Chains A and B, each alone.
Chain A
Amino acid sequence: MATVTETKAASEDKELLISGSEAVAEALTLADLDVVTAYPIRPYDTVMQAIAKKIANGQLVAEYIVAEGEHSQFEIVKHASTVGARVFCGSSGVGWMYAMECLVVTPPLRVPMVCLVGNRALDDPGAFGVEHNDALVVRDLGWLLCWIDTSQEALDTTLIAYRVAEDRRVFLPLAISADGAFLTHSQAITMVPPKEKVDRYLPRYDRGDLLLHPDNPITVAPQANEDWVIEIRRQNDEAMKRAVGVIEEAYADFRRVFGRGPENPWFEEYMADDAEIILVGMGTISLPIKVAIREMRAKGKKVGLVRLRWFRPFPFERLAKALSGAKAIGVIDRDYSFGSPFHSGVVANEIRASLYNADKRPPLLSFICGLGGREVTLEDVNKAVDMCYAAAKSGKADAKTHWLGVRE
Chain B
Amino acid sequence: MSALICEVVYRGIFQKNLAARIVRGIVLSARKSERWGIAFGRYGDSPQRNGIPAKDFAIVADTKEELEQNMARYEPKHVDVTICVDDTLSKGVESWAWYGLQPINRLTEPNGTLLMTSLQPFEALLKDIHKKDAPYKLSLIRAKASFSGLWVYKEDHTEVRILGALAKIAPSFLTLDAVAEAIKEMEWGSDLKVASARKAFDRIETREVKITEGNSEVPYAFEMPKWWEMREGVTIPAIPIGKPKEGGQGYVPERNPYFKKFSTRTMRPVIDFDTCVKCNLCWISCPDSCFDVMPDGTFDANMESCCGCGVCEAVCPVEDCITMVNESVFNDNASQWEAWRKDKTGYKTWLTATIGDKKTTVRSHGFRFRGQYDQELKAELESGGIEITAGIPGENADRKTV
Contact = CB atoms under 8 A, between A and B. Distances in A.
B230 A209 contact: no
Nearest to B229: A231
B231 interface: yes
B227 interface: yes
B231 A232 contact: no
Contact of B233 (A210, A226, A228, A231): A210
Interface string B83-101: 0000000000000111100
B234 A225 contact: no
B227 A235 contact: yes
A312 interface: no
B226 interface: yes
Interface string A231-271: 11011001100000000000000000000000000000000
Interface string B228-240: 1011111111111
Contacts of A230: 227
A171 B232 CA distance: 9
B222 to A, nearest CB: 11
Contacts of B237: 217-219
A218 B98 contact: no
Contacts of B238: 217-219
A250 B227 CA distance: 27
A225 B232 contact: no
A227 interface: yes
Given A218-B235, A225-B97, A231 B230 contact: yes
Contacts of A219: 235-238
Interface string B180-217: 00000000000000000000000000000000000000
Contact of A227 (B98, B228, B234): B98
Contacts of A109: 233-235
Given A227-B99, A231-B227, A234-B227, A110 B236 contact: no
A224 interface: yes
Contact of A222 (B99, B226, B227, B234): B234
Given A225-B45, A225-B97, A217 B240 contact: yes
Contacts of B1: none
A210 B232 CA distance: 8
B367 interface: no
Nearest to A239: B232
Contacts of A171: 232-233
B231 A209 contact: yes
Nearest to A236: B232
Nearest to B237: A218
Interface string B68-106: 000000100000000000000000000011110000000
B218 interface: no
A218 B237 CA distance: 4
Nearest to A105: B234
A240 to B, nearest CB: 12
B34 to A, nearest CB: 34
A235 B98 CA distance: 20
Interface in A90-108: 108
Interface in B218-275: 224-228, 230-240
A221 B98 CA distance: 15
A110 B226 contact: no
Contacts of B44: 225
A210 B231 contact: yes
A220 B233 contact: yes
Please classify how large the interface on chain B is, using the bins under 10, 10 to 19, 20 to 34, 35 or more. 20 to 34
Contacts, number: 70
B74 A224 contact: no
Contacts of A111: 233
Contacts of A234: 227
Contacts of A223: 45
A232 B237 CA distance: 16
A290 to B, nearest CB: 41
Contacts of B231: 209-210, 218
Contacts of A110: 232-235
B74 A221 contact: no
Contacts of A220: 233-235
B243 to A, nearest CB: 16
Interface string A108-129: 1111000000000000000000
Contact of A224 (B99, B232, B234): B234
Contacts of B226: 231
Given A231-B226, A231-B227, A222 B236 contact: yes
Nearest to A207: B233
A235 B236 contact: no
Contacts of B97: 225-227
A205 to B, nearest CB: 14
Contact of B234 (A108, A209, A238): A108
Contact of B74 (A222, A226, A238): A226
B235 A210 contact: yes
A111 B233 CA distance: 8
Nearest to B224: A227
Nearest to A234: B227
The residue in B96, B224, B231, B232 that gathers the most chain A C-beta atoms within 10 A of its C-beta is B232
Nearest to B44: A225
A234 B225 CA distance: 13
Interface string B297-334: 00000000000000000000000000000000000000
Contacts of B225: 231
Interface in A305-350: none
Nearest to A221: B234
B173 to A, nearest CB: 30
Nearest to A214: B238
Contacts of A228: 98, 224, 230
A218 B231 CA distance: 10
Interface centre among B74, B96, B227 (most CB of A within 10 A): B227
Contacts of A209: 231, 235
A375 B191 CA distance: 78
Given A225-B98, A227-B224, A235 B232 contact: yes
Interface string A16-43: 0000000000000000000000000000
Interface in A184-216: 209-210
A238 B232 CA distance: 11
Given A217-B240, A227-B97, A235 B230 contact: yes
A45 B309 CA distance: 51
Closest 7 pairs (CB-CB, A-B): A217-B238, A110-B233, A231-B227, A234-B227, A225-B97, A210-B233, A225-B44
Given A221-B235, A228-B230, A230-B227, 16 more contacts: A110-B232, A171-B233, A209-B231, A210-B231, A210-B232, A219-B235, A219-B237, A224-B234, A225-B45, A226-B97, A227-B97, A227-B99, A231-B230, A232-B230, A234-B227, A235-B227
Interface of A: 108-111, 171, 209-210, 217-228, 230-232, 234-235, 238-239
7 contacts: A109-B233, A110-B234, A219-B238, A227-B98, A231-B226, A235-B227, A235-B228
